Amino acid sequence: MPDTGPTAGERFIQGIIPENPVLRQLLGLCPTLAVTGAMAPAMTMVGATAFVLIMANIIVALIRPLLKPHLRILVFTLTIATFVTIADRFLAAFMPGMSELLGPYVPLIIVNCMIISRCEICASKQSLPTAVADAFGVSLGFLIALGAVAGVREILGTGQFFGITLLGKGFPGWVLMIMPPGAFITLGLLLGLVNWNDQRKKKTAA
Amino acid sequence: MSEPAPAQADPPKPQLHVAPSPHLASTATTGGMMLDVLIGLLPVTVMAAYYFGLHALIQVGICVGSCMIFELMFNAMRGKPASILDGSAAVAGAILGLSMPWNAPWYAGVVGSLVAMGIGKIIFGGLGQNIFNPAMVGRTFVMISFSVSIGSAAYVVHDAPMEVVTQASPLSVAKEAAGAADLPGLWALFIGNVNGSLGETCSLACIIGGLWMVLRRSAAWRTPAGSVLGLAVISLIAQLIDPQSLTMLQHLVGGAFLFGAFFIATDPVTSPVTPRGQWIFGIGYGVLVFLIRQYSAYPEGVAFAILLMNALTPLINRWTIPTPVGGPAPALVKK
């Protein structure tokens, strides 16, 4: 299969901001909303998702000559599920507290559309180095998005960042920000900010 | 809008003046309506100051001031003309301030104003575009965020200078004691000699201010009428089934129900514009207040009831388009 499409470098750069999975493609919103109450669980989630994404992209890129068009989604899902199980068991074994905190959201990485879309768009069509670069780029994009949401929510909600008190003892936490409505408000404002920046760039370019 | 002036370059003066409709112009302006609301809120504020002293005025002042500052700031950020002079920010601030407990910390008012103006109003496009009542968005945000300092337990201060606040607010009493026997008398509830949020305690002042707004046509009379009807009927049924629960009159004059019915539910932006819709909105508000008071963990449900009905308002508007004179209801415009 010939490797036509963006090069590895382009894939890597595109995944970070121009095609950011959360902020541009609105994929992977479930973990973005659910586990961003604080930085620590959000970063653990990013780590687990990045591991699954990179490994799935590697495997899919390696077996892409064998893929049959009508069976490919099934193969993607099984590949992803394998690595999600590894990640889930790893967390349960070595970070039991975090595993309990994340609850069902680690197994739910299986249905994270961000990963299957990368398998479909990039890994099943392009060579191994490109697929790996793509996975790293998208993972970085996911890191930026989750870090932004979780950072705002943790700082406003508790006055802390990674559990380190940032705003002093007297700061009254805005408890709502670490509750589900805070996730929607923060993500909404963040998407608005990204869109506003896009429009501004278009205007200056035109 | 008045009729357009006839073109000046036209030498023969028209015998018959022809102009497109509308031919009658209303003198009502946003600023005038908001001024009416502020005047309507005056009795409530005065009574709050009477019962809670300077605390009430400081609280309302903080909220009004910060609402206006945030409105100015957000308008500047959006590059829109400042809409501060229409008074809507002042009204939202006054309602927010009056819905706070007397001892709420200053930052509760400021954060509430920030959320009310930013997330409640400006982000939707400013006055007239917002789905939810800004003051209630802010109030709910701070109520959940700072539940320790302005939740229902925070109302009671035993060594306070005002005697009123040494008792729990009536609806909290009803919630915790699971009975209405310990409540203050109906007269005390009516004139407001009980603990509670600043503006809600004095039902009499709410009724006076509300009647002013209704008579000035700055508030639709159907909304409060429907609210009273809805709450009265459902709480009467509950009273007949379970005599231990709050009576109908206690439901009506206790808590923030009347304050909400007259000043918040009648917000022209977030309540229906059709007559039938206003009845539905009011009744829904009354029923929801009862349900939340009776069956939720919160003693009072006015803010939630208003927000829930706000969410239904576009639907109610669509369903209750009145039949114009001489014809069937127009078909909904398909986009």
Q: List the one residue out of B217, B200, B255 whose CA is nearest residue B44.
A: B200
State the best of B111, B145, B147, B149 to mutate against chain A, taking most chain A CBs within 10 Å. Answer: B145
Q: List the one residue out of B307, B293, B305, B296 whose CA is nearest residue B238.
A: B293
Q: What is the pLDDT of residue B330?
A: 61
**pLDDT tens for each residue of A137-171:** 999 999 999 999 999 999 998 888 888 888 777 78
Residue in A closest to B144 by C-alpha: A176
Q: What is the pLDDT of residue B230?
A: 94
- Alpha helical stretches, state H, A23-127: 29-34, 39-62, 72-94, 96-102, 113-118
- The ranges of chain B with pLDDT < 70 are 1-11, 14, 152-154, 158-164, 166-167, 176-182, 329-335
Q: Do B107 and A172 touch (CB under 8 A)?
A: yes
List residues in chain B touching A: CB distance below 8 A: 105, 107, 111, 119, 123, 141, 144-147, 149
Q: Which two tokens stand for residue B257?
A: 């129900």
Residue in B closest to A174 by C-alpha: B145
Q: Which two tokens stand for residue B299?
A: 């003693």
Are A114 and A54 contacting, i.e. CB atoms less than 8 angstroms apart? no
Q: List the one residue out of A169, A175, A170 whose CA is nearest residue A37.
A: A175
Q: Which two tokens stand for residue B181?
A: 């026997």
What phi and psi values does residue A21 have, to the nearest 5 degrees?
-60, -40
Residue pairs between chains A and B whose CB atoms are closer than 8 Å:
23
Record the pTM: 0.84
Q: What is the pLDDT of residue B265?
A: 93
**Ordered structural domains, chain B, with CATH:** 30-316 (1.10.3430)
State the best of A152, A158, A174 to mutate against chain B, taking most chain B CBs within 10 Å. Answer: A174
Helix (H, G, I), strand (E, B) or coil at A161: strand
Assess A180–B contact: CB distance below 8 Å, yes or no.
Answer: no
Q: What is the pLDDT of residue B69?
A: 93
Q: Do A179 and B144 touch (CB under 8 A)?
A: yes
pLDDT per residue as tens, chain A (206 positions): 455 678 888 888 888 888 888 888 899 898 999 999 899 999 999 999 999 999 999 999 999 889 888 889 999 999 999 999 999 999 999 999 999 999 899 999 999 989 999 999 888 888 899 999 999 999 999 999 999 999 999 999 888 888 888 877 778 888 888 899 999 999 999 999 999 888 988 888 87
d(CA B238, CA A77): 54
Q: What is the pLDDT of residue B24?
A: 81
Q: Do A172 and B146 touch (CB under 8 A)?
A: yes
